[in-house]
């Protein structure tokens, strides 16, 4: 039986996570979520990973969200439990120490878009469509969508997407700041991996602290945010990577960082 989540560790310090249920539009079944959480843990434990890329298998979907067929016979209590588990898994992605890129290679609806929102950077294929479509099913986004989307694109645009439940094309997503780049579908994964390579070429401990400073800082006021930045900056001072960066600059060569 094929794995529902594939993990490929590249020698460029990049982890590639593949949601592998193409026959079900990579929908998040309980089994897929179990494997995804194990994969997240494995990446978190691997100190040689400096950046992660997440995408869906097949050419049609990034992730269609919750597995509604699986949910069909659930009790209301089981539905709440299932949505909570999806939300916890998505938060686990958000809390990964290294930068995470979502390569949106097709449809990203409901929980699938909520998963992408938890990533640090989103790149979408030109033909992809995405949306929080829950209100059309008489529910609301329950895995972070009502909170992460307005923080990313603004309250008005988020309300329009959620209230209408209408998916948008990649170009519109780019225009409103939902994704950072769009590209041809056949070039998407290469572009995501190239971007991950650009990121992974920098100091890994600095990347961790930069992500922490941004994620924690946006949750508070400027004064407290500046203190968070200062605290995170201090974490980089006593590292051998910082000395390597200075030496490489002086010697006009590419630095070799070790995450120490």
State the burial class of residue 23 (Cβ atoms within 10 Å of its Cβ: 0-12, 13-18, 19+).
exposed
Residue of 258, 252, 248, 214 whose CA lies nearest to 233: 214
CA-to-CA separations, 150 to 6, 135, 147, 153, 162, in angstroms, rounded: 31, 16, 6, 5, 10
Residue 239 sits at φ, ψ, to 5 deg, of -95, 150
Q: Contact, 108 vs 62, CB < 8 A? A: yes
Contacts of 78 (CB under 8 A, 6+ apart): none
Residue of 15, 19, 16 whose CA lies nearest to 4: 19
Just list the catalytic residues: 66, 111, 114, 134
CA distance 67 to 76: 15
User: In this structure, are strands 51-56 and 100-104 parallel, antiparallel, or unpaired?
Assistant: parallel
- CA-based end-to-end distance of the chain: 39
Q: Contact, 13 vs 203, CB < 8 A? A: no
Tokens of 235: 């974490």
Tokens of 215: 């994620």
């Amino acid at each position: 039986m094929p794995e529902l989540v594939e993990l490929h560790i590249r020698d460029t310090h990049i982890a590639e996570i593949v949601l592998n249920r193409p026959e079900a539009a990579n929908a998040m079944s309980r089994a897929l979520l179990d494997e995804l959480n194990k994969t997240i843990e494995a990446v978190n434990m691997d100190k040689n990973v400096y950046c992660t890329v997440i995408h869906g298998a097949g050419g049609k979907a990034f992730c269609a969200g919750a597995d509604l067929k699986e949910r069909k016979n659930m009790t209301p209590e089981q539905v709440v439990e299932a949505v909570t588990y999806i939300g916890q898994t998505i938060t686990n992605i958000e809390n990964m120490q290294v930068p995470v890129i979502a390569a949106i290679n097709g449809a990203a609806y409901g929980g699938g878009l909520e998963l992408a929102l938890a990533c640090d950077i989103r790149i979408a294929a030109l033909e992809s469509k995405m949306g929080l479509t829950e209100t059309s099913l008489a529910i609301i986004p329950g895995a972070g969508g009502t909170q992460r989307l307005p923080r990313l694109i603004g309250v008005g645009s988020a309300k329009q997407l959620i209230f209408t439940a209408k998916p948008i094309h990649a170009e519109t997503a780019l225009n409103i700041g939902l994704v950072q780049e769009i590209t041809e579908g056949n070039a998407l994964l290469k572009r995501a991996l190239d971007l991950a390579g650009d990121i992974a070429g920098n100091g890994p401990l600095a990347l961790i602290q930069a992500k922490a400073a941004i994620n924690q800082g946006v949750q508070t006021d400027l004064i407290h945010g500046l203190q968070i930045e200062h605290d995170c900056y201090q974490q980089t001072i006593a590292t051998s990577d910082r000395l390597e960066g200075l030496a490489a600059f002086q010697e006009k060569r590419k630095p070799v960082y070790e995450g120490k």
